[in-house]
Structure 1
Amino acid sequence: MIFTILKICIGIGCLVALFHYNFIDFQLLGKASSSLVTVAIAFSCLLFTVFIGALRWQILMGSLQVQITFIRSLNYTFIGQFFNVFLPGAYGGDFIRGGLVYRQHRDKLGEIMMSSLVDRLTGLVGLLIIAFAVLALIPNQFQFWIGIIVVSCLAIGFAAPVFVVRFQSLFRAIIRVFPNAVAKILLRIFDTVVECFEGYNHRKRDLIVAISLSVFQYILVLEALYLLGGAMEITSLSWIGYIVSGVAGLFANAIPLSPGGLGIGEAAFGQVAHLLEPVPTETAYSSIFLLMRTLTLLTAVFGLIPFLFYRDAINATRMQNEPLQKNEG
């Protein structure tokens, strides 16, 4: 609870600082309201990313022999977003949507948890691929170090599962050094991780599709940013600037210092946008990212419909928190 409050304070503090230093301008936000059609198209792009995320998660679960329909995956994904935005607390969106699947597949807890983890990781890989693709568009003084970071992250991401599976006997030997009770728990977790990695290794095509969906998902987000900038009549940033600034903002948004990267994503987007201006201006670029975040939060409202439909199952899932944790161990 203390950390949650601290993160909220950091997020609010970042927004206050952005307002104070004119990185966010309410007049620009008001100007966007006069271009409702453009804003609606941007909102549609962001809403469609939820459908893509649901399809990606369904594919990743199917690779581990956890079969659910796309409609269920979509409903559970919307419910997860609804919990993350409107009902924050001990029960995160991933826990709720995973718990709902667990009710139909009680022998697949490890696989469900791993599918959620890999779902997050494929999303990150998709963003890294976009970052690598736009590397040539970044100013020369930043290209080398950003390139090193992106390539290193991609290399680690692809090599780590292979390394774990190839040298699993070494990891088991290390785990057995721990006291028996702890080692037993860790070995069960490690066995599940290895089994899932091997499952994905046999379904490489599914991983490629999942990563491709992630790339498409982020392209839609970047397109939404570009459209919102147009709605605010901001013409001082090129489309290349939107892409590079958008990637920087989305990366910063993933830093878990505030709820959902609140304030941090806006600051990164605005700062990089100013660096990429052909002619220096005092445009409050962070306003674009803030409006995009607001529209993204509004997509979570759609989760209210499946939330009400699955309310009994959700309540049962929340009540099963302790049994689930015991089974995980």
Structure 2
Amino acid sequence: MKTTLKFFLAFALCYWLFKNGQLDFSLVTKTLNSGYLWVFAITLLVARLFIANIRCQILLETKSENKISFSKLFAFNAIGNFFSVILPGSSAGDVIKFFYFRNLDKSLSATTVASIIALDRFVGLLGLLGIGIFICCFQYQSIMALNPALLTFIIMNVVLFAGLGIFIVVIFSNLINREKLVSKLTHYLARWPKVLGPLIDMLSIRLSFKPFFYTFMLSVLNQLLLFICIWLLIKPFIPLETSVLNIFSILPIGMIGAALPITPAGLGVGHVLFENLFKMLQIDHGASLFNLFFIANTLVNLTGVIPYLFVKSELKDRQETP
């Protein structure tokens, strides 16, 4: 029932945008007929899958006793991406990944797998916010001249980046005395065991500087490809004088909002959010522009059904084999 309501909300928001003339599906056809920028955009989306897979492999191998199969991990990540499209929110795909990742190496406990999936998500988000801060600082004068209200998003970028960075250092690095931290958490959170348990489980993951640096840089590259992909898709439909860096300045908050587990793959919610974000840059039809990325990204993620069918068949054969 809950999932049905989320789908209903997503389509209701899209219908409302369409009826108000803010969602123009003809841009999809125009994109296909306006050159080959969309081909490069799709290529970047596929490249992002490989980069994200390398990042996840590095994190898993910090705790696994054996080398993680790149191809098997890629298939499992693709399956997770597939379910993030058909289920509400990108976190739904992480739940699916959890069950598959446990088959990668017997030395990986359920707690370890869950913590690494969370860490992978955190590092990816840190890279997204890091790019946002760099661009906002570099383009500060231009952004303020365009719309002073965008200062709110700059502050949000900085606060979220700082908060997430501190959280990662405290929970996953070797810089903090774990015994004292566990003792304090147990004392202050004893009444909330559902919160205390996962936090203590995460503290079992220790990440040294080298793997963290590599995964962070991969996250920055991954998010940069995402930004370029969006730019390639919307470039034919925005004013020529619009700065690409101004576009990049709103993307971190927009992508975080679209990823919230409210509707499947941000359908509807992302459209409404980007409609308002693009208006702040004095660009009309923001929902239609986001829709171009939404369709391209959805098509790429839906290819995860292919490994899903193969893996499902393989697991079924194993169960039937005496």
Shift of 1:296: 0.6
SS in structure 2 opposite 1:293?
helix
Counterpart position of 1:76: 76
2:163 aligned partner, one-letter code? I
1:186 to 1:23, Cα distance in 2 relative to 1, 3 A? closer
Counterpart position of 1:173: 187
Deviations 1:50-104 (A, max 9, x none): 1111111111111223641222221111111123334779x94323333223124
1:111-122 matches, within 5 Å, as: 111-122=112-123
Shift of 1:24: 1.9
1:223 equivalent to 2:228? Answer yes
1:214 equivalent to 2:257? Answer no
Counterpart position of 2:264: 259
Larger CA deviation: 233-242 vs 261-270: 233-242
1:271 to 1:155, Cα distance in 2 relative to 1, 3 A? same
Counterpart position of 2:154: 147
1:247 equivalent to 2:252? Answer yes
Aligned 8 A contact 1:126 1:214 in 2: yes
> Alpha carbon RMSD of aligned pairs, Å?
3.0
Shift of 1:228: 1.1
Aligned 8 A contact 1:38 1:231 in 2: no
Distance in 1, Cα, partners of 2:87 & 2:272: 26
1:171 aligned partner, one-letter code? L
1:39-54 matches, within 5 Å, as: 39-54=38-53
Aligned 8 A contact 1:31 1:231 in 2: no
1:162 to 1:273, Cα distance in 2 relative to 1, 3 A? closer
Distance in 2, Cα, partners of 1:87 & 1:186: 25
Counterpart position of 1:11: 10
2:204 aligned partner, one-letter code? E
Counterpart position of 1:60: 59
1:271 equivalent to 2:276? Answer yes
Counterpart position of 2:306: 305
1:317 to 1:79, Cα distance in 2 relative to 1, 3 A? farther
2:122 aligned partner, one-letter code? L
Counterpart position of 2:202: 193
Aligned 8 A contact 2:79 2:307 in 1: yes
Distance in 2, Cα, partners of 1:260 & 1:310: 23
Shift of 1:188: 5.9
Counterpart position of 1:284: 285
Larger CA deviation: 18-27 vs 44-53: 18-27
Distance in 1, Cα, partners of 2:267 & 2:221: 23
Larger CA deviation: 262-271 vs 126-135: 262-271
Counterpart position of 1:325: none
Aligned 8 A contact 1:76 1:100 in 2: yes
Distance in 2, Cα, partners of 1:155 & 1:169: 25
Aligned 8 A contact 2:259 2:265 in 1: yes
1:37 equivalent to 2:39? Answer no
2:167 aligned partner, one-letter code? A
Shift of 1:212: 1.5
Aligned 8 A contact 2:41 2:232 in 1: yes
1:206 aligned partner, one-letter code? P
Distance in 2, Cα, partners of 1:313 & 1:125: 36
Larger CA deviation: 77-86 vs 162-171: 162-171
